[in-house]
Structure 1
Amino acid sequence: MGDRLTQLQDAVDQLAQQFVASIHYINRHHSLETLGPGDQVRESNKEPEQNEVDPHPADVFKAAQVELAQDLITKEQQIEYLISILPGLDNSEQDQERNIKELEEELKVAEAQRQEAVKERKEIMGRLDTVIRSIRRP
């Protein structure tokens, strides 16, 4: 999985896609109703085309709207969480500098331990080489 900023960008992209899909669904499957006394709903006997409305029953349409809204809210909450865990939001510049110095100190200690382990390995390899060379065939 990518870093936090990449995850955040992916989540924002997914939210935008969910918005588009939600608008498309609502636009495509709403019920045909008149808004004013002069409005008329055209009746068509042919199959619905790509750009025409294909109304779903009211209960199905309402349930789909609720599900789409819940998905949008869930994605928005995920984005809020990703934003909240970004470094630096609750830390001042001094806190961040202190954290960096602490990490540098930890890195120095780890490097010293690694150097000691390398030195010890060389010594043991030298002793092992001496033991192997001292062994004679009977």
Structure 2
Amino acid sequence: MADRLTQLQDAVDQLANQFVASLYYINKHHDLQTLSATDTVRQEKKIEGDQDPGEKEVDPYPADVFRAGQKELAQDLIIKEQQIEAFISMLPGLDNSEKDQQDTIRQLEEELMAAEQKRKEAVKEKEAVLARLESVIRSVKRP
């Protein structure tokens, strides 16, 4: 499993992608409306070869479908933000002083040295057993 910082970075990247997708959805599927009497809806001229003939710049959805899509995107953003908050709360830092972190590192180093010593003893034991096995095999003669 990835470390906490990598998980946090991945979640932030996913949130950024969700923001972009949300903006694209709103820009692509909003209803063309004027907000005041002086507003006009701009009609951009198409340059040949610039845009796919079947692709519209704005493809408005019905109001209820558009609102449902917005609500779903907003819920996804909130869930991702809560995930990020959970990852942040798991990070060491504010509630752990530098001394506490150094003590934890020292303790982990001691555990690592003890495990390494056990590993070395196991390797020595393995080599001794292999040497005994080899001597037994060599001492066996065919009848």
Q: TM-score range by the shorter chain?
A: 0.7 to 0.9
The residue number in structure 2 matching 1:99 is 104
Report the TM-score, using the length of structure 1 for normalisation: 0.82
2:38 aligned with 1:33: no
Could you report, residue by residue, the CA deviation over 1:19-65 in whole angstroms, capped at 9, with x for unpaired residues? 1221121122222322113334579xxx88543x3221111011001
The residue number in structure 1 matching 2:46 is none
Give me the whole-angstrom Cα distance separating, in 1, the residues matched to 2:55 and 2:112. 65
Q: Counterpart of 2:11 in structure 1: which amino acid?
A: A
Which among 126, 136, 140 is matched to residue 131 of structure 1?
A: 136
2:9 aligned with 1:9: yes
* Aligned-CA RMSD value: 2.3
Give me the whole-angstrom Cα distance separating, in 2, the residues matched to 1:38 and 1:116. 86
Could you report, residue by residue, the CA deviation over 1:79-121 in whole angstroms, capped at 9, with x for unpaired residues? 1122222233421111111111111111121111111111211
Q: Which has the higher contact order (CA 8 A, sep 6+)?
A: 2
Partner of 1:68, secondary structure, is helix
2:80 aligned with 1:75: yes
Give me the whole-angstrom Cα distance separating, in 1, the residues matched to 2:94 and 2:55. 50
Give me the whole-angstrom Cα distance separating, in 2, the residues matched to 1:115 and 1:59. 69
Aligned length: 134
The residue number in structure 2 matching 1:121 is 126
The residue number in structure 1 matching 2:50 is none
Q: Percent identity?
A: 66
Q: Counterpart of 1:32 in structure 2: which amino acid?
A: L
Structure 1, unaligned runs of 5 or more:
none
Change (3 A) 1:36 1:104: same
2:22 aligned with 1:22: yes
8 Å CA contact 1:32–1:41 kept in 2: the answer is: yes
Partner of 2:95, secondary structure, is coil
8 Å CA contact 1:48–1:54 kept in 2: the answer is: no
Give me the whole-angstrom Cα distance separating, in 1, the residues matched to 2:89 and 2:42. 50
1:76 Cα deviation (Å)? Answer: 0.9
1:13 Cα deviation (Å)? Answer: 1.9
